[in-house]
Amino acid sequence: MNLAGLPLPPRVRDILAAALDAVDPYRAVRRALESPDPPTRAALAAARQVVVLAVGKAAFPMAQAARDLLGPRIARGVVVTKAGHAEGTLPGFRTVFGGHPLPTVGSQRAAAAVLQAVHGLQADDLVLLLLSGGGSALMAAPRLPLTLTDLQRTTQLLLASGATIAEVNTVRKHLDAVKGGGLAQAAAPATVVALVLSDVLGNLLDVIASGPAVPDPTTFDDAWAVLARYGLVERVPAAVREVLRRGRRGEVPETPKPGAAFFHSVHHRVVGDVAQAVEAAANRAAQEGFHTAIAATALQGEAREIGRGLAAVLREMAERERPLPRPACLLLGGETTVTLGESYGRGGRNQELALAAVEALDGLRDAYLVAFATDGTDGPTDAAGAVAQADTLRRARARGLSPAAYLRQHDAYAFWQAVGGLLRTGPTQTNVNDLILLCTGNRSALGESRG
C-alpha cells in the first residue's frame, strides 16, 4: 500500500493513513486472541485441534496473526482471498484465490477447500473463522442444480440494480450452500469462533460475507421479493427462478434458522469496523490542527446524490466557515450505491460520488472531497476512489471534457484517469466500507509548501 503517491495534501494523506492503521486486520486479530472474550477463551482452552479458515479481502493478514499466536495448535488452515491480497504463503495453510465482485471457478474451489477442512470434525474441535468483506463472491457453492454461470449472472444484475448489500446477500444466501449459516452446519458439532472485520454498516453478522456461520433470518420469499423489487425476476436465469419457486413451496430446504442446535456452539466477535476508522481519522485530523467533526458512520444512498450534497457542505465550510471554521475536516463513513442503466462505463461508487461533486466545487480555494474505499479497490478498477477539488472542473474543461456527460454514462474512471485525481494504493489488506473526507484550509494548514 502506497499513500505517499496519492494526489492529496500531506496532512490529508496522514488522516487517511491513520484511519487505515486503526483497522489493521493483523493487529485486530492479534488483540482479540491475546485478550479473548469468555467464549473464545473457553473454546481455545477446550479444543483438541484448531482449524483456521480465513475468508475475505483481509484474510491473509488475519490468518497470519492466528498462526503467529497459535502456531502448532493449528491442525490445518485455508486462506480464501482475492488475487493480489496475499503476501506469499503461510506454512500449513492452503491459499485459494476467488473472484470479486463476481464469483469465479476459483470461488468454487475456495468453497470446496473450506468444506473439506471442516469435514469430520468432532465436538472438541475448534474452527477459528476469520471473516472479512468480499467473502460472498470469493467463496461460492451453487445449490444444485444451479451453476456458477447462474450465480454470476444473478450477482451481476443485483450489483447493477442499486440494491443494498443486505438485499443482494438475501438472494445469494438462498442460491448457495455455504452461505446463510451453511458453513456452521457443515462444521457441526465443532465449536466455531468467528472474528469479524466488518464491511457492512451496522455490523449485521448475517450480511457480512453472507453470514456463513450465522442463522439466516431471511427466507425464499424474501429473496424473491428482492428480485421483484428491482425488476429482475424475468431477467435472472430460469434455473434461479425455479430454485426460488421451489423454495417458496417448501420443496427446497430453507437456510439454517435461529434455534438450530448447532448455532449454540457458534460465537462471533467484531474486531474492526468503519466507525473505528472514522474515529481514528478524526483524532488525527484534530492533532493536525483541523477543526474536526464526524458527520456519519453509516452513510447510505445513491452515490451521485450524496456527492452533490457533500459538495454543497464543503462549499459552505470553505466560504462561510460553517458548520466548522477553517481549517476544517468533516469525516464520514458508509457505503453508497450506484444504479446502472443498460449501458455504462467503468468506475466505482467512490469515483462516481467524487465526480458528482466536481461542478459544485469550481472556484473554491484549498478544498478537497476525498472518497476512498478502504480495501483499495473501488468497483472493478485499480483505484480506491478519487479526489475532487477546486480546480478539477478547470482541468476538465481544458481537455474538452464534461463531468456531467461522464456522470450520465457512469464512466467515472475514464474521467478521473484523463483529468487526474484517481487514488491508487493497491490492496490495503483491510476492508471496512468507505471513507469520505471534506477538508479545507490554507496551504499551510493542509501541509503543503507555498513554493
Tens-of-pLDDT digits for all 451 residues of the chain?
Answer: 678 889 999 999 999 999 999 999 999 999 999 999 999 999 999 999 999 999 999 999 999 999 999 999 999 999 999 998 888 889 999 999 999 999 999 999 999 999 999 999 999 999 999 999 999 999 999 999 999 999 999 999 999 898 999 999 999 999 999 999 999 999 999 999 999 999 999 999 999 999 999 999 999 999 999 999 999 999 999 999 999 999 999 999 999 999 999 999 999 999 999 999 999 999 999 999 999 999 999 999 999 999 999 999 999 999 999 999 999 999 999 999 999 887 789 999 999 999 999 999 998 989 999 999 999 999 999 999 999 999 999 999 999 999 999 999 999 999 999 999 999 999 999 999 999 999 999 877 787 754 3
Q: Given this model, what pLDDT does residue 209 score? A: 96
pLDDT at 38: 94
* Beta-strand relationship, 74-82 and 49-55: parallel
Helix boundaries (H) for 321-358: 349-357
Burial of 243 (0-12, 13-18, 19+ CB in 10 A): buried
Query: What pLDDT score was predicted for residue 317?
Result: 97
Residues contacting residue 48 through CB under 8 Å, at least 6 positions apart? 122, 124, 125
pLDDT at position 1 is 65
> Which residues have C-beta within 8 Å of that of residue 349, sequence separation ≥ 6?
303, 335, 336, 337, 338, 371, 373, 378, 379, 434
What are the percentages of helix, strand and coil residues in the chain, rounded to 5?
Answer: 45, 20, 40
Nearest CA among 185, 82, 103, 81 for reference residue 147: 103
Report pLDDT for 450: 43
Distance of CA 265 to the CA centre of its chain: 27
CA distance 416 to 218: 39
Calculate Rg over the CA atoms of the chain: 22
Between CA 116 and CA 51 the distance in angstroms is 11
Q: Where are the alpha helices (DSSP H) in 321-433?
A: 349-357, 392-398, 403-408, 412-419
Q: What is the pLDDT of residue 442?
A: 82
Instruction: Collect all residues with Cβ–Cβ distance below 8 Å to 375 and sequence separation of at least 6.
Output: 57, 58, 133, 134, 199, 384, 427, 428, 430, 431
- The torsion angles phi and psi of 25, rounded to 5 degrees, stand at -65, -35
β-strands 434-440, 328-334 pairing: antiparallel
Unique residue bearing C-alpha cell 469430520: 120
Domain limits, the chain: 24-141+176-218+255-272, 274-441
Task: Identify whether the C-beta of residue 39 lies closer than 8 Å to the C-beta of residue 115.
Answer: no
- For the domain made up of 274-441, the CATH class stated in words is alpha beta
Note whether 428 and 317 are within 8 A (CB): no
The interaxial angle of helices 25-34 and 38-46, nearest 10 deg, is 80
Which pLDDT score, from 0 to 100, does residue 451 have?
36
User: Residue 341 has what pLDDT?
Assistant: 80
435 has which bridge partners?
333, 372
The per-residue pLDDT for 295 is 98
Contact assessment for residue 97 and residue 83, using Cβ atoms and an 8 Å cutoff: yes
Q: Which cell is 206 given?
A: 448475517
Q: What is the pLDDT of residue 449?
A: 55
Phi-psi region of 447 (alpha: psi -120 to 50; beta: other; left: phi over 0): left
Structure-block grid coordinates of residue 89: 504463503
Is-contact 340 440, C-beta < 8 A?
A: no
Q: Model's pTM, two decimal places?
A: 0.91
Query: Which residues face 270 on adjacent strands?
Result: 196
The correct answer on CATH 3.40.50.10180 for the domain covering 24-141+176-218+255-272 is yes
